């Protein structure tokens, strides 16, 4: 489901200059709905600036289910600035990095 060219996130909700986003993550290593707070960590670094972010499971994180992908993890992240971001998720031994452009 990832675009190899990255994504543009526009019209995100903003609170005190911080952009909010709920992001779905899937792993074949996930134990699914039995894990109410999956041990997933999402970090980010701004590629065109100096800001960073970190979101850990339960802050907020939870699980969900869709017929097409099965169980998934949902992580809420707070992005402190518009710009180009490299976001990295870590779950168990798996790691995935992805680039997004956050527009103000």
What are the boundaries of each domain within the chain? 16-84
Q: Distance between CA 1 and CA 4 in Å, rounded?
A: 9
Mean pLDDT of 47-71: 79
Q: Distance between CA 72 and CA 65 in Å, rounded?
A: 6
Is pLDDT of 34 > 80? no
Whether the pTM exceeds 0.85: the reply is no
- Predicted pLDDT at 102: 96
Give residue 36's pLDDT band: very low, low, confident or very high (50, 70, 90). low
- Give the CB-side neighbour count of residue 17, counting CA atoms within 13 A: 3
User: Is there a contact between 36 and 62 (Cβ–Cβ < 8 Å)?
Assistant: yes
- Predicted pLDDT at 14: 95
- Predicted pLDDT at 29: 63
CA angle, 65 as apex, 64 and 71 as ends, to 5°?
90
User: Is there a contact between 57 and 75 (Cβ–Cβ < 8 Å)?
Assistant: yes
Mean pLDDT of 61-81: 84
């Amino acid at each position: 489901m990832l675009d190899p060219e990255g994504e543009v996130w526009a019209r995100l909700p903003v609170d005190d200059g911080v952009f909010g986003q709920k992001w779905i993550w899937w792993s074949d290593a996930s134990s699914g709905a039995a894990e109410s707070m999956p041990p997933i960590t999402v970090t980010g670094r701004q590629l065109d600036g100096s800001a960073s972010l970190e979101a850990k499971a339960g802050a907020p994180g939870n699980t969900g289910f869709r017929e097409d992908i099965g169980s998934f993890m949902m992580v809420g992240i707070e992005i402190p600035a518009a710009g180009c971001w490299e976001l990295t998720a870590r779950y168990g031994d798996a790691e995935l990095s992805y680039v997004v452009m956050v527009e103000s």
